[in-house]
Amino acid sequence: MASRPIYGGDWASRADIARDFGIAPRAIRGRVLVAWYRTDSYEGFAVVIGAVGDRLWIVDAAHCSCRGLEGEWWPEATDAATLRRRRWWGEDRYAAMVATALDAWEAARERRAQARPV
């Protein structure tokens, strides 16, 4: 069973992500594992981590006050070890969100592997 996405900051759904990036919801491929959008006084920072099958991807975007996230949707391949090592603006809450999402994703992946016939 797939776990629910973890959303934070200004986001509570896939639709919120699509709206702020100015993309169609179908452009978000696979499952969203964790996503947050942090807006400070004149800038914003967004991270979306997802998976298509056994492959992870990340969108990491930022903007100043002169524009938003539009045009910043560029998923890049990544892996769990890289995401676990990353410093998330030095804030433990983001590292905890990522760790929780990756733990659930890796556990589901292991269950699928064990369920495959030999």
> Within 10 A of 8 (CB to CB), how many other CB atoms are there?
15
> Within 10 A of 39 (CB to CB), how many other CB atoms are there?
15
**What is the distance between the alpha carbons of residues 1 and 57, in angstroms, rounded to a whole number?**
20
| Residue ranges, the chain, pLDDT below 50 | none
Q: What is the pLDDT of residue 118?
A: 66
**What is the distance between the alpha carbons of residues 83 and 98, in angstroms, rounded to a whole number?**
7
Q: What is the pLDDT of residue 2?
A: 62
Q: What is the pLDDT of residue 7?
A: 95
Decide the pairing of beta strands 44-52 and 76-78.
Answer: unpaired
> Of the candidates 23, 41, 44, which has an alpha carbon nearest to the alpha carbon of residue 32?
23
Entry pTM:
0.90
